[in-house]
Amino acid sequence: MTKARLGFIGAGWWATANHMPLLQKRDDVELVAVCRLGKTQLQQVKDQFGFRFATESAAELVNQPGLDAVVVTSPHTLHHEHARLALEKGLHVMCEKPMCTRGDQARELVRLAQANNLHLLVPYGWHYKPFVQQAKRWLDDGAVGQIQYVLCHMASPIRDLLTHGHFQAERVSGQAGGVLFQPDPKTWSDPAVAGGGYGHAQLSHSTGMLFMLTGLMPQSVYAAMTTAGAKVDLYDALSVRFEGGAIGTVSGAGTVPPRGTAQYQVDLRIFGSDGLLMLDCERARLELRRHDGRLERLDLEPDAGAYSCEGPPHNFVDLVLGKTNVNWAPGAAAMRSVMLLDAAYRSAASGQVEAIAS
């Protein structure tokens, strides 16, 4: 295979501002087919990025001859349906986060990908930072010993988006191209379309990183969420038990005051029997401290943790073409994030601890 022949299901703000501009520049990628609602907007995307075929039907897209892979960037609650359509047709899938909104659906997607020997990648941009990958190597080498407690925090400047659907996409750093469309307010602030608020919109990033780094499996969760006047959650506080005995806290806030370029907080602290790993994207820190006195700290540039999402689309194409076998944002980690967040929303509604099926 000399070129990866790609289809897109969903072609809104992020797909047209990041994924398509990046992939259009590669000489080993052919943008074959695109699907979105709205005939005028669909034609705009087809013309701007040179797709051969355009349709408003996802089922019609996955039946186009010659496709190798599909990128799913539709609204959250449609991810499962669209990714499943592609996997069942034998197509590799890159599916935007959250991979879906229900734990059983996430497990189905991972099973389908594994059963059909297909790549399933969720574009978590921070996973491609060299210092995040170094953290993964340390943890894989057992640098903190048996994991016993984790702290996972994220905060973002998206209050207006979650509350009113107002957002200036031009202000977001880390996108590869210009802005063809503004974000659809319903996909962020309407629970019927988004499936939830800050949890699905942003904690999917930090929890995806947590599960990629640690390999933990969530077992149960007690969650409290508040909307602060919005229709979806702006604040999330989760107390989690993991299989094997570890416990942890996961927190989120969608109300960081914006100042110029958006500032995101992503802070993970992983405590184990032999030591502690601290990873902070906002303040660009990676530090390993062990009980035997070993101390390692990376010397990072101040902007080393700034968000960008160039890595995942390139990683996906390289996987499809067989240029690498390393998936830095695997569906299995995204599945665990979905399982946790699904149970967290159920817990916030019930006021009870909710079990997570393994």
Q: Are 59 and 187 within one domain? A: no
Q: Are 120 and 135 within one domain? A: no
Bridge-based pairing of strands 235-242 and 218-226 is antiparallel
Global pTM? 0.95
Q: Are 210 and 255 within one domain? A: yes
pLDDT given for residue 159 in this prediction:
92
Q: Are 223 and 317 within one domain? A: no
> Quick one: pLDDT band at residue 180, thresholds 50, 70, 90?
confident
Short-list 171, 181, 174, CA closest to 16: 181
Alpha carbon distances (Å) from 279 to 242, 248, 266: 20, 15, 8
**Alpha-carbon gap, residue 101 to 200, rounded angstroms:** 7
Q: pLDDT tens-digit profile of 115-167?
A: 999 999 999 999 999 999 999 999 999 999 999 999 999 999 999 889 886 66
Q: Are 43 and 89 within one domain? A: yes
pLDDT given for residue 181 in this prediction:
75
Residue 139 CB neighbour total at 10 angstroms: 20
User: Which range of residues forms the domain containing residue 342?
Assistant: 130-307+337-355
Q: Are 178 and 95 within one domain? A: no
In this prediction, residues 191-211 reach a mean pLDDT of: 94
**CATH number for the domain harbouring residue 152:** 3.30.360.10
The total of structural domains in the chain comes to 2
Q: Are 164 and 185 within one domain? A: yes
Is-contact 303 131, C-beta < 8 A?
A: no
Q: pLDDT tens-digit profile of 59-117?
A: 999 999 999 999 999 999 999 999 999 999 999 999 999 999 999 999 999 999 999 99
Is-contact 265 282, C-beta < 8 A?
A: yes
**Alpha-carbon gap, residue 333 to 99, rounded angstroms:** 10
Contacts of 153 (CB under 8 A, 6+ apart): 206, 250, 251, 252, 265, 266, 267, 268
In this prediction, residues 5-30 reach a mean pLDDT of: 96
**Alpha-carbon gap, residue 243 to 235, rounded angstroms:** 26
Give start and end residues of each alpha helix (H) in 190-305: 191-194, 198, 204-214
Q: pLDDT tens-digit profile of 327-339?
A: 999 999 999 999 9
Q: Are 104 and 147 within one domain? A: no
**Which own/partner contact pairs does 165-171 have at CB distance under 8 Å and 24+ positions apart?**
165/189, 165/190, 169/13, 169/17, 171/258, 171/260, 171/261, 171/262
Contacts of 8 (CB under 8 A, 6+ apart): 15, 19, 20, 31, 33, 34, 35, 36, 51, 70, 71, 73
> Quick one: pLDDT band at residue 169, thresholds 50, 70, 90?
low
Q: Are 51 and 154 within one domain? A: no
**CATH number for the domain harbouring residue 65:** 3.40.50.720
Q: Are 117 and 177 within one domain? A: no
3-state secondary structure 312-337: HHHHHHHHHCCCCCCCCCEHHHHHHH
Is-contact 327 208, C-beta < 8 A?
A: no
Mean residue pLDDT across the chain: 94
**Alpha-carbon gap, residue 247 to 245, rounded angstroms:** 7
Quote the distance between the C-alpha of residue 143 and its chain's center.
Answer: 26
Q: Are 192 and 262 within one domain? A: yes
pLDDT given for residue 71 in this prediction:
98
Q: Are 203 and 159 within one domain? A: yes
**Per-residue tokens: 336:** 């665990």
